[in-house]
Amino acid sequence: MTPRELQQQLKALRKTHSPINPDVSFVAQSKKTLLARISSTKEHTAPAYSLGERLYIIGRMFISQKTACRVRAGSLMCMVIITTIAGWTVGVSASSQSMPGDVLYSVKLAAEKTQIMVASATGDKEAETQLHLESAKRRTAELHQMDKEPKKVKKVVARLKKSVASVGETFKELKEQDSEKAKYAAKEVTQKTENISNSLREVANEAAKGAVKIENTTEKKQEELVLTKEVVEIRHDIDMAELAAIAVLDSEDAKDIIEDKVEEMIEDAQEFTEALAAVTEQATSTPTIVVSSTVGITEEDVQTQEAATTSTPINVSAIEEESLEDTEQEEVVENIDESIERMQEIAGEVQQLLEAGSIDEAIEKTKDVQEITQKTDDRALEVQGQIIEEEQKEQREDAQEGESEPVAAQEGVEEVEQSQENTVDEQKVPDENQDREHSDTDPIEIEGDVEPVVEVVSLEPEREEI
Amino acid sequence: MTNKTHSMVSEKKLLYRVQAHKDAEAFGRLYDTYIEKIYRFVYVKLSNHTDAEDITHDVFLKVWQYLTQNPQKRIASVSGLFYTTARNTIVDVYRKRAKQQVVPIEEGHGVPEECRMQKIDTKMEVETILVHVKKLKEEYQDIILLRYIEGYSLKEAAQILDKKYTHTRVLLHRAMKKLQEIINV
């Protein structure tokens, strides 16, 4: 039998009156019985469904299980994604105000990193530069506001340094990639770098004040000095990044900005000269000097410093006499004075170049000014460091002396006692001598329990025995 | 709209009426559609008219109860529901019979399905081809019944048997091959 014939025979089974088909009577009877039974068990009132429920039932009937599962899985995924994004957004926005050491601070950093990574992946150097600038701005604000715990400060400073370096690098790449875009971005970069530079100046000022504060311990002073050094260094980097951005600008815009910058530098220098003069006057009586054109020490600071100095005359005199040598101080002051003069000279040259329209040369000269400023700052901070070191050394010596003092004091006591004893002996000896003298001369004056020997001298002549 | 789609939509409507409104009339129409199919399905397995009639009746009653007690339940296929209920009811009958013969359940399970079917077959008078069909494995019987006797498409048969389309196709091919072998012996 062929397969086709077999199929034909099987199909024919349904059509014939074979025992495979039910009796017509059974079909009718069964239906009657079934409906009767259903009617008897059926509730009189059909359940009332709302329109929504009816739609749901109809929907379930016409939508297959697979489709329903897919829709459910899809909607679940959407919900998860939405919840994750919403949670992340809420977390990031909540973390934006967090400070180093806070729980959400790592979220803040992670969000920043993610943004930078995305910008980097898309190759948008302009956005990347802006993001690095934003990071640098945030780190500067954090440095300004946070608790100055050395570990935390160190981390924030390291991150700031990295951000500032990245600003310079990405802007350079942007310039190479698309000069037009770089020109467009340069204005904003200049503005932002200047803001960051000003904020860093405030941070450096604050730290520098901390480094000369008499109330601070030498360790604290050291920490503040380290922070000052690092912030000053970062400020130089950001200034260099600013100059790089200025170089891309149109000549007119660049001219205005450089003019402002030069003016600012001259003002800084003048302010600094005045402060320096005040410091020089007090050089002999002041234990510490902070000299920095970048830090921008003011007369007020010097006065505060003087006031603090006079409030602790003993320390000042000690440090003045022993830690700070007048010659070294004078040398530093002279060097700085020379640097200021040189800076002013170059500033004048920059202005001349700008008037002549040589923007590039003016920028190069401005860079020279920056270099000199950096050197001056380094030298001043170095001397400050030496002073603090000497102060530390002094304190250590004092402490050592303090430790050896009790022994010396004891020795002194013994000496005193010894001398007292000696004195007593010395006093006794003449007494004894005196006693001896007395005994020689006046045997009646005998001290102690010794019975006085009374020599009775008989005036009568001795009887001679017969 | 094709005939198949039309009948499917009308079936869904009837199903909705039964589930949502416990409509006996709607269920009566479903009865008319499926009574012969379910009877044939049961008869092929039991080969006894009385038993087939009783079981068919039970199947419809169970379906009614299931639908009215689960108005929110998704029913993917009405035919699938009837055939599944029929298959389960037949299994229940097998179990009952096994108990009546005081055969332990474990032993009953151990007896091959073919042997049991053969015992039932010998009692009944059927047409030659049907005798041969009954010699097949149960799943071969099902697919041959659904595809060639009832005239369902492979896709519908797969849905009723709750198997994948490709598996059902393979199953049908093997069933036909086996039937041919039996007939040709």
pLDDT in tens, B93-128: 888 877 775 444 443 444 445 444 544 443 344 467
Handedness of CA A374, A375, A381, A382 (dihedral sign): positive
- Residues 8 to 27 of A: which have CB under 8 A from any B CB? 9-11, 13-14, 16, 18-23, 26-27
Percent of chain A with pLDDT over 70: 67
Structure tokens at A199: 């904020």
B124's torsion region: left (phi>0), alpha (psi -120 to 50) or beta? beta
The predicted model gives A199-208 an average pLDDT of 83
With beta carbons under 8 A apart, name residues in chain A contacting B133: 10
Instruction: Specify the 3-state DSSP secondary structure of A88.
Output: helix
With beta carbons under 8 A apart, name residues in chain A contacting B24: 35, 38-39, 42
B46 touches B90 (CB < 8 A): yes
Express each pLDDT in B24-59 by its tens digit.
889 999 999 999 999 999 988 887 888 899 999 999
Residue A289: per-residue pLDDT: 42
Torsion, CA B21, CA B25, CA B28, CA B33, rounded to 10: -90
Express each pLDDT in B155-180 by its tens digit.
889 988 888 999 999 999 999 999 98
Largest CA distance in chain B: 55
Structure tokens at A372: 């000199």
Residue in A with minimal Cα distance to B178: A3
B118 touches B152 (CB < 8 A): no
A291 touches A297 (CB < 8 A): yes
Residue in B with minimal Cα distance to A39: B24
The predicted model gives B74-79 an average pLDDT of 85
Residue A77: per-residue pLDDT: 93
Closest CA to A98 of A61, A146, A56: A146
pLDDT of residue A255 exceeding 90: no
With beta carbons under 8 A apart, name residues in chain B contacting A21: 36, 39-40
The model's confidence at residue A291, banded by pLDDT at 50, 70 and 90, is very low
Q: Which of B28, B52, B151 sits opposite A35 (nearest CB)?
A: B28
Q: Where are the beta strands (DSSP E) in A112-216?
A: none
Residue A276: per-residue pLDDT: 52
Structure tokens at A358: 């040589």
pLDDT of residue A232 exceeding 80: yes
Residue in B with minimal Cα distance to A28: B32
Does A26 sit within 8 Å of B53, measured CB to CB? yes
Express each pLDDT in A114-141 by its tens digit.
889 998 888 888 888 889 999 999 998 8
Closest CA to B153 of B42, B84, B55, B77: B77
The domains of chain B, with CATH numbers, are 1-112 (1.10.1740.10), 126-185 (1.10.10.10)
pLDDT of residue A83 exceeding 50: yes
With beta carbons under 8 A apart, name residues in chain B contacting A62: 12
Residue A98: per-residue pLDDT: 83
Contacts of B149 (CB under 8 A, 6+ apart): A10, A11, A13, A14, A20, B40
The model's confidence at residue A453, banded by pLDDT at 50, 70 and 90, is very low
Helices B78-100 and B154-161 sit at what angle, rounded to 10 degrees? 50
Residue B120: per-residue pLDDT: 47
d(CA A252, CA A359): 9
A88 touches A104 (CB < 8 A): no
Closest CA to A201 of A238, A166, A169: A238
d(CA A441, CA A449): 20
More confident residue, A224 or A277: A224
pLDDT of residue A78 exceeding 50: yes
A276 touches A199 (CB < 8 A): no
Residue A274: per-residue pLDDT: 62
d(CA B168, CA B73): 26
- Only one residue has tokens 């010596």, namely A397
d(CA A209, CA A134): 27
Closest CA to A289 of A330, A248, A247: A330
The predicted model gives A281-306 an average pLDDT of 46
Percent of chain B with pLDDT over 90: 34
Q: How many CB pairs under 8 A join A and B?
A: 117
Structure tokens at A340: 């200021």
Residue A101: per-residue pLDDT: 82
The predicted model gives A278-298 an average pLDDT of 47
More confident residue, A310 or B117: B117
User: Quick count: other Cβ atoms within 10 Å of Cβ A99?
Assistant: 15
The predicted model gives A151-173 an average pLDDT of 88
Q: Which of A181-185, A263-267, A388-392, B87-91 has the highest mean pLDDT?
A: B87-91
CA triple B100-B104-B106, angle to 5 deg: 135
Residue B112: per-residue pLDDT: 45
Q: What are phi and psi of A409, to 5 degrees?
A: -65, -40
pLDDT of residue B12 exceeding 70: yes
Residue A285, Cα to own-chain centre: how many angstroms? 33
The pLDDT mean for chain A works out to 72
Contacts of A329 (CB under 8 A, 6+ apart): A283, A289, A383
With beta carbons under 8 A apart, name residues in chain A contacting B27: 35, 38
Percent of chain A with pLDDT over 90: 3
Closest CA to B30 of B92, B93, B77: B77
Structure tokens at A328: 């070294």
Q: Which of B24, B36, B149 sits opposite A10 (nearest CB)?
A: B149
Alpha helices in B101-153 (DSSP H): 105-110, 113-123, 128-134, 138-144
The model's confidence at residue B83, banded by pLDDT at 50, 70 and 90, is very high
With beta carbons under 8 A apart, name residues in chain B contacting A37: 61
* Side-chain half-sphere exposure of B77, counting CA atoms within 13 A: 17
Express each pLDDT in A2-55 by its tens digit.
778 888 888 877 776 667 888 888 899 999 999 888 887 655 555 666 777 777
Q: Judging by beta carbons within 10 Å of its beta carbon (0-12, 13-18, 19+), is residue B16 exposed, middle or buried?
A: buried
Residue A318: per-residue pLDDT: 39
More confident residue, A311 or A163: A163
Residue A332: per-residue pLDDT: 66
Which of A141-150, A236-245, A338-347, B115-124 is predicted least confidently?
B115-124
pLDDT of residue A286 exceeding 60: no
Closest CA to A186 of A133, A260, A234: A133
CA triple B69-B66-B53, angle to 5 deg: 140
The predicted model gives A218-243 an average pLDDT of 85
Which of A264-268, A375-379, B181-185 is predicted least confidently?
A264-268
Does A31 sit within 8 Å of B28, measured CB to CB? yes
- Of how many residues is chain B composed? 185
The model's confidence at residue A361, banded by pLDDT at 50, 70 and 90, is confident
